[in-house]
A and B are shown apart, each in its own frame.
Chain A
Amino acid sequence: MRGFKAFIIKEIKENTRNYRFFILGIVFAVVGLLSPLSARFLPELLSNMIDENITIILSDPTYIDSWMQFFSNMNQMALVAFVLVFSSILSKEYDKGTLVHMVTKGLPRLTIYYAKFTVMLVSWTFFFWMSFAITLGYTFYYFPEGTTDGLFLSVGSLYLFGILLIALLMSSAAFFSTVFAPLLTVGGFLAVLFILNLFPFIEEWSPLQLASRNTELLIRTNADTALNQSLFVSALLILFFLVIGSIKFRKKALN
């Protein structure tokens, strides 16, 4: 793995100096803060806005609401921001021809591919769990009665779903050369998952469960067959995406 470390350092410098890490740090921290805040704040805000003559029954928010907000913010803001920020992970290099120097100096293409994936994976891991830790801390503070039962399963599922999308992003960046193609691929993949969910048989195998059943898992606190199938399929897909991407990248024209 000659050059793996050097290339990783280059990636870290790049992402730091191009403000990518900075932006992701802020976005993920905001998601971590916003989730318990909006869980706590929204019902009160609603009851203040509504006419006093109308009585609606708003149950008091619980720690479940806080995590519900976390899952939805993580899906709709943080994960989207992450994919957007890293969508140019290879296209910029193709565009400028900067990889040519690396390859002609004997840096194996697989090293480039997996170094880039590693940087994304480690960033996702760091930012995701940082965001999680913030939400966890505040959820305890505001909803001391909450438990952590089922938390790992439901949050871990979402984390794995993120890895699946990152693997797909990396793979499609090997196949296509533009910035938009990887974004379209990830978007298209999600669209296909949603459509396939119309068929119950596919739904119980679909990786989409990892991002859609989180609140339910938090309450159930254990996995059922469908979730296990989903975890299995997701793991296979991650491997599949990575492998076909690396095969393609080994033979890609770089100039």
Chain B
Amino acid sequence: MAILEISNLSKAFGNQTVLKDVTFSVEEGSVFGFIGRNGAGKTTTMTIALGLLKADDGSIKINGKTVQYGDTETNNYVGYLPDVPEFYPFLTAREYMELSAEISGIEKKEAAEKITELLVMVGLEDNKKRIKNYSRGMKQRLGIAQALINDPLLLICDEPTSALDPIGRQQLLSILKKVKEKTTVIFSTHILSDVESVCDEVAILNDGRIVKQGTVKQLKAGLASEKWMVVCEEEEHGRLLLEAISTDDAFHDVTLNGPVVNGESTDGRDAMGKLLAHLNALSITPVRIERKEATMEEVFVEAIK
């Protein structure tokens, strides 16, 4: 079942269009990556889903219920972590969590256990400092803890890793992986390595439109061309191979670098067969021949072309 359904969403600020007819849905139990360049409209989409911003057109459903602007019932199913989370600086982490729990309508007794559990998970359990003394990473971790207080069905994170140092990022991603067991997570980012390490499915947003959506595997498979590489024993062999395949239009963007021939083909499988045939005909024995796996970066660059 789809936990989040966005249909035909449009939004403009003045005469600047931010979202045009955005449609996608997020299945329950997945980690969904929402990718796009800075200013592509990721944050706008998320704030509309939280009822914090009014859409010009289209609708969003969370757990089957339509999101209203202003106070919205759907927020009961949602946890939210903004990109730069700010909390009341005069409270301690525990006090803040108690406030969050009470607002979410959790029983006092149950809340105390839950708060300890969550604070342990994000590594802030013994912290008696007030939030005003927290570092960025600590605030981000507290952000996750407070977003999970109401056992949300959907956790929305806006660029959770972009402001963090490498260690903070690792900590945060491993927390997200843990969270995944119970909650559907949607997170926006432009850091593609994060997407590869945690996301099941992604949608790519460009110029206010969804240009690609699918699982990481599907998107990679759907790339228009596949890269391959042949490593020969001698430069001479490389040159011979290059010559032989230059007339074949199954190959393109072929380059020679010493004994290494790099190139792209629309059909990787077919290209491999042909390459082997050419090598055989030329009686060249390669050191290595391989199909290169596509990276998310290639998928992304092609999608936003």
Contacts and interface: CB of A to CB of B under 8 A. Distances in A.
Interface of B: 47, 50-54, 69-71, 73, 75-76, 78-80, 82, 85-88, 90-91, 95, 98-100, 102-105, 130, 146, 149-150
Contact of B71 (A5, A6, A18, A108): A108
Given A10-B91, A13-B95, A18-B90, A106 B80 contact: no
Contact of A105 (B51, B90, B95, B149): B149
A130 interface: no
A193 interface: no
A172 to B, nearest CB: 20
A105 B75 contact: yes
A106 B75 contact: yes
Given A98-B86, A106-B73, A106-B76, 8 more contacts: A7-B103, A10-B88, A17-B130, A98-B87, A98-B88, A104-B75, A106-B75, A250-B71
Contact of A6 (B76, B86, B102): B102
B186 to A, nearest CB: 14
Interface residues of B, dominant DSSP? loop
A106 to B, nearest CB: 5
B67 to A, nearest CB: 11
Interface string A186-206: 000000000000000000000
A103 B149 CA distance: 14
Contacts of B76: 106
Interface in A101-124: 101-109
B82 A106 contact: no
A183 to B, nearest CB: 23
The 4 closest A-B pairs by CB, nearest first: A6-B102, A3-B103, A96-B86, A17-B90
Contacts of A5: 102
Q: Interface centre among B52, B75, B105, B149, by most A CB within 10 Å?
A: B52
Contacts of A254: 52
Contacts of B70: 109, 250-251
A225 interface: no
Nearest to B95: A13
A105 B103 contact: yes
A105 B104 contact: yes
Contacts of A7: 99, 103
B102 A103 contact: no
Contacts, number: 82
Given A101-B100, A107-B103, A13 B52 contact: no
Contacts of A58: none
A146 interface: no
A3 B102 contact: yes
Contacts of A17: 90, 130
A14 B96 CA distance: 12
Given A101-B146, A105-B103, A105-B150, A14 B88 contact: yes
A253 B149 contact: no
A64 interface: no
Interface in A2-48: 2-3, 5-7, 9-10, 13-14, 17-18
Nearest to B150: A105
A97 interface: yes
Nearest to B149: A105
A97 B82 contact: yes
A255 interface: yes
22 contacts: A3-B103, A5-B102, A6-B98, A13-B91, A14-B88, A17-B90, A18-B90, A97-B86, A101-B87, A102-B103, A104-B78, A104-B79, A104-B80, A105-B75, A106-B75, A106-B103, A108-B71, A109-B71, A250-B71, A251-B69, A253-B52, A255-B53
B145 to A, nearest CB: 12
Nearest to A107: B103
A100 interface: yes
A17 B73 CA distance: 33
A105 B103 CA distance: 7
Contacts of B91: 10, 13
Contacts of B54: 253
Nearest to A249: B70
A13 B78 contact: no
B300 to A, nearest CB: 26
Contacts of A107: 103
A102 B71 CA distance: 11
Nearest to A3: B103
Interface in A211-255: 250-251, 253-255
A97 B83 CA distance: 11
A7 to B, nearest CB: 7
A14 B91 CA distance: 8
Contacts of B146: 101
A245 to B, nearest CB: 15
Contacts of A98: 86-88
A13 B90 contact: yes
Contacts of A253: 52-54
Contacts of A2: 103, 105
A196 to B, nearest CB: 36
Contact of B50 (A13, A104, A109): A104
Contacts of A109: 70-71
